[in-house]
Amino acid sequence: MSTLFVISGPSGAGKSVLIRRILDDLPAIRFSVSSTTRGPRPGETEGIDYHFISREQFQADIEAARFLEHAQYSGNLYGTNRHEIEEAERLGQDLLLDIEVQGARQLQEKGVEAVYIFVAPPSFAELERRLRSRNTEDEVAIQRRLRQSVEDVSHVHRYQFVIVNDNLEEAYSRLRSIFIAERSRRSRMGSTLEPILASFQK
């Protein structure tokens, strides 16, 4: 059975770098490609980063119950496609969801079993410094992201794991440990354990 890993955290906490790294490093993890009404940024690819769809299509997908959860963030809509879970199950992979706090909350309220991980920056001041040093957004956008970060961290108590991304290597090592530990649960070790146990049968 696939394990769902849900990762949230404010913009600028370093979530994307950590996610890219775990996907490159560990086998059998599928990234859940969400649908969004925002336009692609330079370097983003349809079907890999997101499915970039119109508001009309998004609405139609809500009505057809194609989303496991959906939320509005910074004026755009984002939704997790149910299809992603079915695909992960079919392929025997785990599924990694990069979603914001309202979406994670919806999953929890629906009782969706997942490993909930929050990536936090070491402080508000450091988050501000990182957002400014990116040099990708104007002042209005930076202020909006900072306000949003206050809301984001107020939901941290809903998560089972918190990774403080002060030092990237340390943060990555913690994230990797969480994945490895989850995958070592006895309930997930069936196909590995069976032949071992069988070898002990006289």
Q: How far is CA 63 from CA 66, 76, 114, 131, 140, in A?
A: 8, 18, 25, 36, 34
Out of 2, 34, 149, 165, point to the residue binding ligand 5GP (CB under 6 A). 34
Is 121 near ligand 5GP (CB under 6 A)? Answer: no
Q: Which two tokens stand for residue 10?
A: 């404010």
Q: Nearest approach, Cβ of 193 to ligand 5GP (angstroms)?
A: 34
H or E element at residue 4: strand 4-8
Residue among 112 and 188 whose Cβ is closer to ligand 5GP:
112
Residue among 133 and 187 whose Cβ is closer to ligand 5GP:
133
Is 61 near ligand 5GP (CB under 6 A)? Answer: no
Is 79 near ligand 5GP (CB under 6 A)? Answer: yes
Residue among 11 and 165 whose Cβ is closer to ligand 5GP:
11
Rounded Cα–Cα distance for residues 88 and 199 (Å): 31
Q: Which two tokens stand for residue 130?
A: 């990182």
Is beta strand 50-52 parallel, antiparallel or unpaired with respect to 4-8? unpaired
Rounded Cα–Cα distance for residues 165 and 127 (Å): 10
Side-chain-facing half-sphere of 171: CA atoms under 13 Å = 21
Residue among 110 and 202 whose Cβ is closer to ligand 5GP:
110
Is 165 near ligand 5GP (CB under 6 A)? Answer: no
Out of 80, 120, 127, 153, point to the residue binding ligand 5GP (CB under 6 A). 80
Closest Cα partner for 57 from 49, 45, 66, 46?
66
**Footprint of ligand 5GP (CB under 6 A):** 11, 34, 38, 69, 71, 73, 78-80, 98-100, 102-103
